[in-house]
Structure 1
């Protein structure tokens, strides 16, 4: 079974992802624009420093201003007259004799890789004064402030995404209240309530087609249930009447033609079996596990019900000389419908007597296991295969090769009765050789 996906979670993730994608693109755009503006601004600053070095008297305030700009933006400069250095910054990167400016650097702006870092270089010269200027700045210095701004912008984005997640979580959850209310209204539907579903205000347009289809389905289901109930009532009346008439005619024929008694007994058994099948089918149709609250229940002594079942089936057990051995725990009471429990236990015990064989044994054990009542019914009949165990409880299923008669509905009825009582039924091989059926019922909470 595939794992269910929350639509609410998916909507939140999709909205947040789209916002993060837009924020990431905005961050990249901001970084690109800021990088371009920073490069332009720093290049203009290098150009102004070069102009000030060529045109101003460095012994005046202009020289002091150049030094202040150089220190503030980590810009290094060198002013030369032919081969003689007229002025240079204190931290000029290529001030020693072992390092020289590369010859391939042309006038204007360019980049060089020197001492394991990238430098921005601006060079210009004044032909009239026969002087040249070199201005250098490490690229890392330009990115320092830019990196701080990008980090600040990214931190703001993370905070905004977190706030958006909170808003989306509560906003989407609030909008889903309509869907949850619709889900509760659908789950509350039963065979007794198939009225159309109405959306809560405000109505969601996306849900209107689904609600309309559900209402159409409920309407068709209501028609089907009414038709089924009518058929059940008609079938009950129409089938019971001819079966009762056949039984009456058989009684008349037995008295009128005693020599045909043996043949008529076989017909009588077939009619009785047909009557039993009919009663079982009608009982299955009436049992509905969805209506457990409407089932009349009361506290009942299980040992008393078992004794009544044994008394009812005693003639059948005596006919085959079946020994029924019991082991009861005293004063075990459950809350249930005594008539249905009686029918369930009668079916199981009747099944055990049928399959135990001549001179067989049936074992009934009742005990308390934690907060549950356990009832096991076993017989010493022929062993059952794993395939038979898997199919026990199916309607009309009877194991092949058995000579016992039955409708194949008894265990199906038992399963439904156990479901109505929130219990469990398990089939397994008996240690005595036949089938073991174990029932478990919840015990009432002691106050």
Structure 2
């Protein structure tokens, strides 16, 4: 869905409304002006006609008629029984012209010289003299066109001024929304206090602010409940597991002939303890506080060696071969990160690869430098991986159906979160060896 700016939309809507209103007003002005101009000019033609029919053309009245006709570009002709008595100097009427009937015996329109003329005919019933007045229609509206152009220019300038004012005024009014956005962005797991409604002056934002504060309250309660659960789980679950483990050790010494049974129970307890530790670690990791994470400078290949050393008993148990390719020199694979968390991440990925590799199979590990990042690739042999299973890997507690391998389903989830804390990437791909390929990318 295309994202649009509410601020720009408000400015655009307001300006379009103003343009429409101004255009309608200008159109009404033009229509009314045309009507009034026609009325006034027709009255002038009627006045000149009356003056021609009743005036003595040899006196000053004739001069006054000429002045009026020149002023308003009106041509006249006075005739008696088809004999021309007098006419204006510029009067001309083509032999072939087109008359447009308007339903009025006196006023009409004539098309000649490629333009439209207003015509007026009158006759004195006593003297039987006839008057014909002609006026180019375009001359009537010269002043009107000048006025129209002037008003149009004024409107365009007003619209431009309105756009500038709207741009700054609407932007100023949106400061309240930006302030609310800044206050929301400042909220984190350590600060879920309510946003004060007094800082928001717009009534329309109050319902949204109320719902947001309600959400912050519920989120604060959920986080506190999770923190209480983590603390309680750490104390209540770890203590009985440790006690059971101690009793098993005593039983092993007392009944050495049942050592195999006790070893199986010991393995189950260790797996439960590890699951508990993973859950607590997953709950404590928060990508929002990555800047508070203690970090040191260390060589990545040493952490890889430590992870392999920690998993040596499992490697020997399944007769797994670890094939390493680390062409990067020691001085080039140093990173600034939390060494313990990176160790946990690599160990979990290696542990996952060893668990799902068939006995006497191979796990392939490589470390390469790609630009400004180091890339750790861990992949194992297998019988192929279902794309649907691959899509869900990395989710908490997810384990593929039908898998006989024991585990909590948290290892890759923890790795994913550790990479987020270090602004790195974890990519899960099908391996050409038939198993899973996990790629970890860390910035140098």
**Superposition TM-score, scaled by structure 1 size:** 0.92
Aligned residue in 1 for 2:62: 63
Contact 1:428 1:437 in 2 (8 A): yes
SS for the counterpart of 1:30 is helix
Deviations 1:260-299 (A, max 9, x none): 3333333222222221111111111111111111212222
Provide the secondary structure at the position in 1 that maps to 2:356. helix
User: 3-state DSSP class of the match of 1:434?
Assistant: strand
Which aligned pairs between 1:303-382 and structure 2 lie closer than 5 A? 303-328=301-326, 329-330=328-329, 331=331, 332-382=333-383
Give the alignment's Cα RMSD to 1 decimal. 2.3
Provide Cα deviations, 1:318-342, integer angstroms capped at 9, x if missing partner. Answer: 2222221222212212221111111
| Deviation, structure 1 residue 392 | 1.1
**How far apart are residue 95 of structure 1 and its match?**
5.7
**Is the 2:426–2:438 Cα contact (8 Å) retained in structure 1?**
yes
Identify unmatched segments of 5+ residues in structure 1: none
1:205-244 alignment to 2 at 5 Å?
Answer: 205-244=203-242
1:142 match: 140
Q: Report the count of equivalent residues.
A: 441
Distance verdict in 2 for CA 1:335–1:100, change over 3 Å: closer
Q: Which residue of 1 aligns with 2:187?
A: 189
Higher alpha-carbon deviation: 265-274 or 369-378: 265-274
1:119 is aligned to: 117
What stretches of structure 2 of length at least 5 have no aligned partner? none
CA contact (8 A) 1:423 1:440 kept: yes
Q: Is the 8 A contact 1:178 1:200 kept in 2?
A: no
**CA distance in 1: counterparts of 2:271 and 2:302, whole angstroms:** 28
CA displacement, residues 224-265 of structure 1 (integer Å, 9 cap, x when unaligned)? 211211111112211112222222232233333344333333
Matches within 5 A, 1:26-45: 26-45=25-44
- Name the stretch that deviates more: 305-314 or 110-119: 110-119
SS at match of 1:63: helix
CA-CA distance at 1:117 after TM superposition? 4.4
- CA spacing shift, 1:99–1:437, aligned 2, 3 Å: closer
Distance 1:45 1:202 in 2: 65
1:418 is the counterpart of 2:405? no
- Choose the corresponding residue for 2:161, options 160, 163, 166: 163
CA distance in 1 between partners of 2:336 and 2:180 (Å): 34
By how many angstroms is 1:106 displaced? 5.4
Q: TM-score, normalised by structure 2?
A: 0.92
